[in-house]
Amino acid sequence: MTDKPMTPPTLPFKFSGKGGEYFKIWIVNFILSVLTLGIYSAWAKVRTNRYMYGNTSLENSAFEYHATPIQILKGRIIAIIALVLYVLLSNTFPIAGLVFAGILAVLTPWAIWRSMQFNARMISYRNVRFSFHGMLKEAYKILLLIPLLPLIIGAILAGIIHLTLGEVAPVVVTGVIGIAFLATYLIFPYVQKLVTVYYINNQQYGQGKFSTQLSTKKYYAIYLALLGWIILFMIGISMLVGVIGGALGLFGSFADLGAIKEGGDTEAMKFILSLIGLFYIPFIVISLWGKAYLEKNIRNYVLNNTELDDVVQLNSEIKTGRLFSLYLTNTLLVLVTFGLAYPWAKIRMHKYKIETSSATIKGNIAQYINQQQEKQSALGEELGMLLIWIWA
């Protein structure tokens, strides 16, 4: 391209995956994984990722996923050996299990770091690979040191107070530890911001560097607004439950609880179902809305502040209402079909997120060249998945 247009063109990301097509790949993946006692799951992961990336395109060129099943399988086997060791050790020697859990905790930042490297390296666009260049030291700082800082400081303070105050200490120590735990939650938005900045600012496309500038204040503003909305919803729903419950005379019938034990009483059944309906469903709906609100705000904020050199500016315009309705209908769809509609749910969600993203091309995208890189192993990625699964 020699003649540059005055306003740089903004091009949409496209996703061409289809629910029915993906369902067939998904069910074959499931059956072959079961029949091969899990071995095929490595092929399943590769085929799924190739399908998702291969159907994501920008300016008529699709992304590509490059990991080989053997790479994934090796990582998976080592991760499973680690899990078996962990279970065996913690069953036979409880202390050894505890030590092992400590080792796994210390390993987690390393696994996440390796996983970021592996996943970036396994993706290409227009024949050029992405890569991740974050330092391991930094990963330990933002994934282990900072999140644990409130507890470390709390423990030191509690120790000092215990030694100096003596008698009144237990109450004060409990208070200090309580505040430390609270602070661990309170710094979460800050840690999330640090991780996002670490991830994006160390991301490369060929020789090109991604960069973002995010403000901590904005993250806290998003979380605070979320909290405000949720409190408002809770108040609204409590009032509604009070009015409807009162009208149905539900609260007078707590005595009926005894009737449930007698069994099969339709009045009692009705009472339980009403309770579930009145308290449980709104709770799920509000959590899904909160998830959508958070995701919309953070994803839009991060992508709108991310660029590749001064060549590509990313944009995202997710809407909370649409995202929320997708979460809600997808959850219902998957529940009603006992999970069989999962492929459709996944494709719908992915399509929405991809197609609300776009790229403003301000320079020449054909200038990028693959950088020489060492071979990657999937160990960190697979161990990381396992660790996340253990901690969750």
How do strand 357-361 and strand 208-212 relate by DSSP bridges? unpaired
Contact call for residue 15 and other proteins (CB under 8 A): no
Indicate whether 352 belongs to the interface with other proteins (CB under 8 A).
Answer: no
Contact call for residue 300 and other proteins (CB under 8 A): no
Point out which span in 42-50, 196-204, 254-262, 345-353 binds other proteins (CB under 8 A). Answer: 42-50
For the bound state, the minimum distance from the C-beta of residue 68 to other proteins, rounded and expressed in Å, comes to 10
Should residue 351 be labelled a site residue for other proteins when binding is judged by CB under 8 A? no
Tell which one of 166, 261, 264, 338 touches other proteins (CB under 8 A).
338
Q: Is 365 in the site for other proteins (CB under 8 A)?
A: yes
- Per the CB < 8 A criterion, the answer to whether 46 and 61 are in contact is no
The answer to whether residues 359 and 303 touch, using CB atoms and an 8 Å cutoff, is no
Q: Which stretch binds other proteins (CB under 8 A): 52-60, 93-101, 160-168, 345-353?
A: 52-60
Rounded Cα distance between 33 and 354, Å, is 29
Q: CB nearer to other proteins: give 10 or 127.
A: 127
- Cα separation, 145 vs 187, in Å, equals 12
Whole-number Å distance between alpha carbons of 5 and 219: 36
Spatial distance between the Cα atoms of 331 and 381, rounded to a whole number of angstroms: 28
* Sign of the C-alpha dihedral computed for residues 262, 263, 267 and 271 taken in this order: positive
Does residue number 354 form part of the binding site for other proteins (CB under 8 A)? no
In the chain, the amino acid numbered 385 is M
**CA-wise closest residue to 121 among 169, 161, 65:** 65
Per CB under 8 A, does 335 bind other proteins?
Answer: no
What is the DSSP secondary structure assignment for residue 59, as one 8-state letter?
T
Task: Tell me: does residue 337 bind other proteins (CB under 8 A).
Answer: no
- Asked if 366 is part of the footprint of other proteins (rule: CB under 8 A), the reply reads yes
The residue behind tokens 């809407």 is: 319
**Member of 11, 89, 97, 126 binding other proteins (CB under 8 A):** 126
Site stretch for other proteins (CB under 8 A), options 19-27, 146-154, 177-185, 316-324: 19-27
Binding footprint of other proteins on the chain (CB under 8 A): 16-17, 21-25, 27-28, 30-31, 34, 43, 47, 50-51, 53-55, 61-62, 64, 125-128, 206, 338, 365-370
